[in-house]
Amino acid sequence: MKQTENKIKRAFTNITPDILETVVSDSAIQKGTVMYVKQKRRLPVVLVAVAAAFVMLFGVFAGVLAYMGNNAVASVVSIDVNPSIEIKLNRKDVVVDIKALNEDGQKIIGNMDLTGTKIEVALNALIGSMITGGYIDELANSVLVSVDNGNADKNAALREKLNAIISGLITTENAEGAVIALQIDKNDTDSATLADKLGISLGKAQLILSLCANNAKYDPESLAKLGINELSLLLQEIGAELKGEFVGSASDKAYIGVEKAKAAALEYAKVSKDLVEGNIKAEFEHDDGMMVYEVEFVAEGVRYEIEVNAVTGDIVSCEKKVKDVLITGQTQKFITEEELKDIISAYCPERQEWNGFEYNFQYDDGVLIYEAEVSYKGVEYEFEVNAKTGEVISVESDRYYHYEDNSSGNSEENGLITKEQALKKVLDRAGLAEDDISRLNIELDHDDNVWKYEIEFISGRYEYEAEINADTGEIISYERDTDD
């Protein structure tokens, strides 16, 4: 505005003739003589005002153009560590606006006024504040920078520039910094939706969805709670397709490390490293809200999958599976399928009567067992057999009868009394007839190597329960209680 005033003053000065000395001189020489002086024509007052207004308008217009050029947003840059900050730049990479995207970001900005500074200066101040505040150190040395610029060449150039600046600021003699530089895709509606939903930057949302695309068990909401260093470690572990670059190496010094995780898994499994077949595999993962090492190895034909807490070294979970080659009985470490059938034949001798035979391996109290099921003459059998010794651990069998159902097989064929005979035993004991009872239920069960009928019914205000030996017809137990 001051420049505009000076221009107007000069304009008025230039259009006003300076003839004072001439007039005074002529008056002294020709005193008393009448002279006719031809006056110069002055510009009309209106023209003078128009000229002044034009000069003023030109100055204002030039000022507006300069202001718009310096304050128009050309690029939007987001910086994420755990603090998240958004920076708007003009075409000269000068800060136009800066704001925090979360509470930690507000702590970093504090009272700093970085508008009008070059991006180099702003980054120096912000990264320095993060280091001082403990957000960036040797335990967590990763930074995510995302750039939103419509010009692809300018976007790539700005990412490269920011990458170099930040890498230089966070790299120390003891550790190399890690920087993920992303190009923001405005057409990526999934990232935009996730960012709005979780209150995170668009760059962090884009990174999280890239990780989830490579590992189906990852949950975006759970990953959003992690800092950039944890996300960088996961990115290093599984890899992901990024619209940008990842340079440097994320620090894993906050965790026990792969070798200690392997040792913890072997110790828990009580397996000597000498017994491990091949290599021990250990991967850094995120599961149920915690960082873990997933350790896998095979020893003595058993595959172990053990999760180790990446911070404490505690065992989170352990699964054991028998290798497929052993299930088929191709080695002699465990009894074969045919040997298992021979064992079951002692209970169900006529194999042509078997239906639905199946089995699998399971661990029970540290013992590897076969769990086998077979239907034999209307009875469902469940066997547990020691997979190494062939010892029968348990046998369970069930056949269910309902008094109204006459479609069941004849128990006499199995050498057992019929359900009608069992019911008559109980009715005789109770002094009742069939017409006196309701809600009858009869089940044939095999328990402790004894076949028995379990009978329940209601008569009047009493509830009856009884067990009848299905081989002998003997009443094993009999109870009568008031029906509630």
As a whole number, mean pLDDT of residues 337-351 equals: 89
* pLDDT tens-place string over residues 181-215: 888 887 788 888 998 898 898 889 889 888 888 88
**Average confidence score pLDDT of the chain:** 80
Per-residue pLDDT band for 402 (boundaries 50, 70, 90) equals very low
* pLDDT tens-place string over residues 115-139: 999 999 999 999 999 999 999 988 8
- pLDDT above 60: residue 241: yes
Query: Can you name the CATH fold of 402-482?
Result: Nuclear Transport Factor 2; Chain: A, (3.10.450)
* pLDDT tens-place string over residues 460-477: 889 999 999 988 899 999
Q: What pLDDT does residue 467 have?
A: 94
Per-residue pLDDT band for 281 (boundaries 50, 70, 90) equals very high
* pLDDT tens-place string over residues 147-160: 988 788 888 899 88
- pLDDT above 70: residue 353: yes
Higher pLDDT, 415 or 369: 369
- pLDDT above 50: residue 236: yes
* pLDDT tens-place string over residues 426-445: 999 999 999 899 889 998 88
- pLDDT above 70: residue 246: yes
Supply φ then ψ for residue 348, to 5 degrees: -130, 80
Per-residue pLDDT band for 330 (boundaries 50, 70, 90) equals very low
- Count of other CB atoms within 10 angstroms of residue 344: 23
As a whole number, mean pLDDT of residues 236-264 equals: 87
Q: What pLDDT does residue 12 have?
A: 39
- pLDDT above 60: residue 410: no
Residue 306: which region, alpha, beta or left (left: phi > 0; alpha: psi -120 to 50)?
beta
Residue 144's closest CA among 191, 53, 77, 211? 77
What residue spans define the domains of the chain? 2-71, 75-248, 258-322, 325-398, 402-482
Task: Answer yes or no: same fold for 258-322 and 325-398.
Answer: yes
- At position 195, the amino acid (one-letter code) is A
Percentage of the chain surpassing pLDDT 70?
A: 77
> Averaging pLDDT over each range in 86-100, 139-153, 200-214, 394-408, which range is the top one?
86-100
Residue 289's closest CA among 211, 348, 354, 230? 230
Alpha carbon distance 343, 4 (integer Å): 108
Alpha carbon distance 182, 156 (integer Å): 9
As a whole number, mean pLDDT of residues 273-286 equals: 88
Percentage of the chain surpassing pLDDT 90?
A: 32
Higher pLDDT, 273 or 70: 273
Name the CATH code of domain 325-398 (choices 3.90.1150.10, 3.30.565.10, 3.10.450.40, 3.40.50.11270). Answer: 3.10.450.40
Name the CATH code of domain 258-322 (choices 3.40.50.2300, 3.40.50.300, 3.10.450.40, 3.30.540.10). Answer: 3.10.450.40
The lowest-confidence range among 33-37, 247-251, 385-389 is 33-37
Higher pLDDT, 379 or 310: 310
Per-residue pLDDT band for 404 (boundaries 50, 70, 90) equals very low
- pLDDT above 90: residue 293: yes
